[in-house]
Structure 1
């Protein structure tokens, strides 16, 4: 049973995180664990991860995990923000800061087929990277500079990156929603496109500088093609914006390393679009095969330091 300062119950202040006391509970790499939480009174606003793609089980009353036979499933993640695990010396964590492509849009419940999941499996296979873990901090709809679904990446940077235990590497793959939402209410002049690109480059530089100041190695991920995505109806101007941002991401010194997802995922015949065999069908999110291709595109040598 988890306790908090030796007590079985805790009231978490609004907007705060609260650590439990350590629990002597050994776990293996990639092992699933279940955590049971009892709420005497449902909060007026729920803390949850709607895109968790993981099943929770709800049942009125106070029960142990073994008593949840009649519980109702819901594909949401409630209350729990994370699990810290004491690790062996020289262990490290990779935080992946991203949007729905990292969050795993299109992955079925409880299937763990997001590209960070597959990357974690690859790391465990290689003896030289078995002490490296993956923290998936993708939020569907998230943007670099503006709030959308969840606070913008700069606003959540301290909580989701700097405060994570053992983080030594950061992969940044975010920006497609910034580009797409620019024209959500209608076309804008070319000057607005250029301004957004400049502001986003400034946002990337902020992330890199703040991470480097804490000794975290920052890896930039190029933005995937999204021409044909009905949710954004991108034009040639959007593609020019994406190309400008990817040119910055690839430029020497902008990041400590680069994963060129664009090069792997684009259609050679129509490079502003996802490869048909890697496209989920909405021309924005990869298919399961696409997520596997993204995970394979990550050089494990980046984490053997």
Structure 2
């Protein structure tokens, strides 16, 4: 049944009388979406600000609003301020560059990921920046010498609801800022290669590797893994600013060609060899930030078999959560 939460009514598609879109409608929606993004991109210096005003309205006045508290006066996620004890000057990390190896990170779920700048995650391992966000290669995290600190920061973020983070300002005094975690609060498994946490409200989980990286799982993915199947990462479109403007004809490049241009093919060779990647060029063009590529890329997610073994035991007795009970 429909339920009102925070002044909004949530319904299942059946209750709302919504029919699944046809393939033709999906193609038309995608075309409209790409045209709209192209117009926004022409006016925006950064893909990170392509969110709608509705998104900004949603976070305005909350702990995620970058204009509040310690965040006041910061305009954009590359702003330079000093809020650390050791003279740190960078608030955040650079977008589209792997924090750990310094090379370009082309996003592909399970292989190269990113954390948006509105999640304040303390970078205890970094002497130059106070908060971690931005891009990283999953393999680079696993090889990072201080990956234990990275892992703990991820655990604190993923498994919390609301918490306070203490930072030191230019006055040398501690300041507390509110941080909202993702709410996977219930640890349900300790495996040899990591832990699984469950969201108590929805049918979803996160697997946090012992080596640091994390992987989100919805119910359909958990069911597929429990049956011994492999699952494919999200192939939704995303936009990146390329380090240099490519030659004409980028729309006809295959994935190896793009990776060669970005000089990171060696970091993705395992994905190319073993994980059946599917790459599609959507559109590209020069904006104020440089050449912006919009693309989709998905691949088989490289997850350990222990996750599937666990869910094969867990799901038969699992009671699916309902939206109205959230």
TM-score normalised to structure 2 length: 0.22
Q: Tell me the TM-score normalised to structure 1 length.
A: 0.23
